[in-house]
Structures are given as structure tokens and as C-alpha cells.
């Protein structure tokens, strides 16, 4: 699996948006929680408010990599309100990270029963099925997510279709969908990386180099996969200086990674 950073974005308007990029192809989930007015809340609203707070706590602990606490908070969220779809979505995300696939799928499906057209949950469930079961079976969920005219981040579903198409050997569709992701969001780093890998495999080294450079400028720190790809591109281009730089970064940041050993062996 390629590992990408988890991202947390919090707006200043009381609307919390949490975007997760999970390992592998990117699974992207946006959980939006607006804290309701607390004055004169009936008991039902109290329960919803607690579910929202626990969901946000789960998201924050997830971002920090504290999965046990994230799971506990997500479970508290669904216990507080059985009608709050983002809580089940968050529970699915955490269980997916913990490789509890059946529980993750059940949580996503519960979220969709409450909110059938939620594109982010559809995208999450599609990725779970694509990654853990069958790429072909995951496609309908991405496609349904994209049919939602108010889907705020369709580049994520386009990206996942591209990655799953590549796994199925459909390179034409993979390239089309990854390009669609970048057309929607030109600075969508995961799509830049995936296209760089494809161009490298096709022998288009300069294009691969440029795409990877764009990717690396957008991320806080390049992943082990990105650094290894950079080393391979530089080696094929005969750029010893760039290759040495990538290998040095691999040794410093990921000394025990398989990719680091391979880069050293291939040098």
C-alpha cells in the first residue's frame, strides 16, 4: 500500500471538515459537523449534539493515529444517536483502518440507510470493496457518488475509479478518470502521483518526473512510495545526483522500508 498523509481541515465558521486519505489508493471521507444552537435543546437534540461531538473526537484521534480511542469515540457517537449518519461513516473509517472489514462495511451501509445519497460514504464503501474484495464491485458506488450534483469533492471518486480501473488492467479508463480528477482539482496530489507511476511504466520519463515533482511540492513530506518512484525515474534518466538525493531521503525517513532496501539494491 502507498501511504498518504491524513489531512484535517477545520473552518472558522463552526463547520468542521475532516478529510482522510487512507493508505493504498486514496479513500477520501469528508465528515462535516456543524455545532447546533444549544439554547432550549430538547432531549433529542442533546443526543444529536453528543453524537456530533463524539464523531469529531473520533476524527481527531484518527488523524493522530490513536485508533483505539478513535474507535471508542465513534462507538459512543452511534450510541448517542442512531440517526446521525456521519457517526456511522466515522465508525466505518476507523474499522477499515483496523482491518475490521465486515464491521466497516456494516457501518457504511448503516450510514447510507440514513443518508442514501451521501457521496463521501458511497466513496468510502466503494473503496473498501475495491481494495478488499473486488475492484469491479466497488465501481457502482463511485459512480453513484458522482451522480450527486452537490458532491463537493468528486475528484476523489474519479481518482478511486482510476486506481481501481488500473488494478483491473483498464489503463484507458484509469488515465481518463485520473485526468478527470486533475481537471476538477489540478493540485490533487494523489492523482498526480498515480499518473506519474503510469507514465513511468509507459517509459514517459520526463512527464513522470514532472508529475512527481508537482506531487512532492504539494505534500508535507513525500511518502516512501513517492521517494522510491523518484529514485527509479532518476536512475532511468541517468541522473545520478537526483537518484542519490532520493535514496538519501529514503534512508533518513524510511530506513526499514522495503522500498529503501530495493532502491539500495538497484543502485
pLDDT tens sequence for the chain (267 residues)? 333 333 322 222 233 444 444 433 334 433 333 334 444 454 468 899 999 999 999 999 999 999 999 999 999 999 999 999 999 999 999 999 999 999 999 999 999 999 999 999 999 999 999 999 999 999 999 999 999 999 999 999 999 999 999 999 999 999 999 999 999 999 999 999 999 999 999 999 999 999 999 999 999 999 999 999 999 999 999 999 999 999 999 999 999 999 999 999 998
CA dihedral 195, 198, 203, 207 (to 10 degrees): 0
CA dist list (Å): 238 to 47, 69, 188: 62, 48, 29
- By C-alpha distance, which of 159, 152, 155, 117 is closest to 138? 159
Other CB atoms within a 10 A radius of the CB of residue 154 amount to: 20
Q: Mapping DSSP to helix (H, G, I), strand (E, B) and coil, where does residue 26 land?
A: coil
The pLDDT, as a whole number, for residue 31 is 34
Separation between Cα atoms, residue 223 and residue 267, nearest integer Å:
19
Other CB atoms within a 10 A radius of the CB of residue 252 amount to: 10
- For 1, counting Cβ atoms within 10 Å of its Cβ (0-12 exposed, 13-18 middle, 19+ buried), the class is exposed
SS (H, E, C) 60-126: HHHHCCCHHHHHHHHHHHHHHCCCCHHHHHHHHHHHHHCCCHHHHHHHHHHHHHHCCCCHHHHHHHH
The pLDDT, as a whole number, for residue 44 is 60
63 phi and psi, to 5 degrees? Answer: -60, -35
The pLDDT, as a whole number, for residue 267 is 86
- Judge if pTM exceeds 0.75: yes
Other CB atoms within a 10 A radius of the CB of residue 114 amount to: 16
* Helix, strand, coil content of the chain in percent (nearest 5): 65, 5, 25
Q: What end-to-end distance do the CA atoms of the chain give, in Å?
A: 23
Amino acid at each position: 500500500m502507498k501511504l498518504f498523509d491524513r489531512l484535517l481541515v477545520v473552518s472558522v465558521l463552526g463547520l468542521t471538515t475532516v478529510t482522510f486519505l487512507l493508505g493504498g489508493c486514496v479513500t477520501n471521507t469528508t465528515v462535516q459537523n456543524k455545532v447546533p444552537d444549544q439554547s432550549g435543546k430538547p432531549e433529542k437534540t442533546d443526543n444529536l449534539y453528543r453524537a456530533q461531538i463524539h464523531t469529531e473526537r473520533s476524527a481527531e484521534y484518527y488523524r493522530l493515529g490513536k485508533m483505539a480511542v478513535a474507535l471508542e469515540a465513534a462507538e459512543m457517537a452511534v450510541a448517542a444517536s442512531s440517526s446521525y449518519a456521519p457517526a456511522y461513516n466515522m465508525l466505518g473509517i476507523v474499522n477499515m483502518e483496523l482491518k475490521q472489514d465486515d464491521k466497516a462495511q456494516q457501518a457504511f451501509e448503516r450510514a447510507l440507510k440514513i443518508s442514501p445519497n451521501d457521496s463521501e460514504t458511497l466513496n468510502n464503501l466503494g473503496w473498501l470493496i475495491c481494495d478488499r474484495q473486488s475492484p469491479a464491485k466497488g465501481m457502482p458506488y463511485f459512480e453513484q457518488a458522482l451522480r450527486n450534483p452537490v458532491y463537493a469533492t468528486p475528484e476523489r471518486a474519479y481518482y478511486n475509479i482510476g486506481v481501481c480501473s488500473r488494478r483491473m488492467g483498464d489503463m484507458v479508463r484509469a488515465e481518463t478518470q485520473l485526468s478527470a480528477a486533475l481537471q476538477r482539482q489540478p493540485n490533487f496530489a494523489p492523482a498526480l502521483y498515480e499518473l506519474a507511476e503510469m507514465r513511468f511504466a509507459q517509459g514517459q520519463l520526463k512527464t513522470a518526473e514532472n508529475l512527481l515533482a508537482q506531487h512532492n511540492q504539494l505534500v508535507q513530506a513525500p511518502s516512501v512510495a513517492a521517494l522510491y518512484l523518484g529514485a527509479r525515474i532518476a536512475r532511468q534518466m541517468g541522473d545520478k545526483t537526483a537518484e542519490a538525493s532520493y535514496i538519501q531521503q529514503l534512508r533518513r525517513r524510511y530506513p526499514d522500508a522495503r522500498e529503501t532496501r530495493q532502491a539500495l539494491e538497484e543502485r
